[in-house]
């Protein structure tokens, strides 16, 4: 017989003896206890002058043994329950003191393999192309969607209610040149440069296969904020100019005071 088969057979025999030894010893102790009780009871019954006393003493002794045994078992169960309650919930019996060595080694190996697979499957770089990184202001935001969502606001800021085609982004640059005309012939104004760069980034977000980056999304956000602030400043200046011109164009009221015309 090969040594491998002999080893497996010996392990099976030892495992059977290990698992049945406790039950066998309990049965042996129960048989001895019942036999001793039967012998003592028969001997006490045959003793006529002390029959009742002997039976009482024997019953009391066995009752005491049973009570002490039950108390001991109860205390052990209570201590085990307390130990289990204080044990951490994620605890896994992977030690050789908890399980047979082979079972413990198998559980430890599978646990390590699962933990390694879970670690490899995680996004260790902390980023996904086209999406904001965790724990930043862009977390959970899709850059392409964020860039394209700024178009309606830019149309309102630059074009107002002027009808235009949705895909005609050149109208934004023309509107920027009208709102902020250049002081030098042939050179674009600051607003026109910003809007031109914005249009370029929107075009890339629309048609480019590669996902936009956080840098591009941040640049679009800054351009929109710049245009918003510039339009607000120009509107405020226009209102102040209209107010001043209206005040200067008010008619002069002449009054007569003591024979003199007073303006």
Is 137 within a domain?
no
Q: Quick one: 23 and 105 in the same domain?
A: no
d(CA 65, CA 58): 11
pLDDT for 28 = 83
Q: Quick one: 103 and 172 in the same domain?
A: no
Q: Quick one: 161 and 218 in the same domain?
A: yes
Nearest Cα neighbor of 146 from 207, 220, 198 is 220
User: Is-contact 148 206, C-beta < 8 A?
Assistant: yes
Q: Quick one: 235 and 190 in the same domain?
A: yes
What is the length of the chain?
263
Q: Quick one: 220 and 150 in the same domain?
A: yes
Q: What's the mean pLDDT in 12-18?
A: 76
d(CA 109, CA 206): 50
Q: Quick one: 228 and 150 in the same domain?
A: yes
Q: Quick one: 115 and 68 in the same domain?
A: no
Is 219 within a domain?
yes
Q: Of 49, 68, 91, at which residue does a domain stop?
A: 91
d(CA 16, CA 23): 11
Q: What domain count does the chain have? A: 3
If you average pLDDT over every residue of the chain, what do you get?
77
pLDDT for 221 = 93
Residues of the chain above pLDDT 90, percent? 14
Q: Quick one: 150 and 230 in the same domain?
A: yes
Domain range enclosing 106:
93-122
Condensed to tens digits (0 to 9), the pLDDT of residues 80-114 reads 788 777 766 666 666 666 677 888 888 888 888 99
Q: Quick one: 230 and 163 in the same domain?
A: yes
CA atoms within 13 A on the CB side of 105: 3
Alpha-carbon dihedral angle through residues 242, 181, 177, 143, given to the nearest 10 degrees: -90
Categorize the per-residue pLDDT at 254 as very low, low, confident or very high, splitting at 50, 70 and 90: very low
Categorize the per-residue pLDDT at 130 as very low, low, confident or very high, splitting at 50, 70 and 90: confident
Whether residue 141 is predicted with pLDDT greater than 80 in this model: the reply is: yes
pLDDT for 103 = 80
d(CA 193, CA 176): 9
């Amino acid at each position: 017989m090969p040594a491998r088969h002999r080893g497996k057979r010996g392990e099976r025999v030892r495992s059977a003896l290990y698992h049945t030894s406790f039950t066998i010893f309990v049965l042996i102790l129960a048989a001895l206890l019942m036999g001793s009780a039967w012998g003592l009871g028969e001997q006490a019954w045959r003793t006529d002058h002390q029959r009742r006393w002997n039976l009482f003493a024997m019953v009391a002794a066995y009752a005491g043994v049973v009570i002490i045994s039950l108390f001991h078992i109860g205390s052990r169960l209570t201590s085990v329950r307390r130990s289990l309650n204080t044990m951490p919930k994620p605890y896994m019996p992977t030690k050789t003191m908890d399980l047979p060595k082979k079972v413990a080694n198998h559980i430890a190996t599978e646990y390590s393999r699962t933990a390694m697979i879970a670690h490899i499957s995680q996004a260790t770089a902390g980023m996904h192309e086209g999406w904001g990184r965790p724990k930043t202001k862009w977390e959970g935001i899709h850059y392409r969607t964020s860039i394209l969502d700024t178009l309606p606001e830019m149309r309102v800021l630059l074009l107002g209610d002027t009808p235009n085609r949705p895909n005609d982004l050149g109208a934004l640059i023309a509107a920027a040149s009208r709102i902020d005309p250049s002081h030098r012939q042939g050179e674009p104004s600051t607003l026109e440069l910003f809007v031109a760069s914005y249009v370029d980034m929107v075009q890339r977000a629309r048609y480019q296969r590669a996902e936009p980056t956080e840098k591009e999304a941040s640049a679009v956000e800054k351009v929109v904020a710049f245009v918003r602030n510039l339009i607000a400043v120009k509107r405020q200046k226009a209102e102040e100019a209209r107010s001043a011109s209206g005040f200067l164009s008010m008619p002069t009221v002449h009054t007569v005071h003591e024979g003199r015309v007073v303006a």
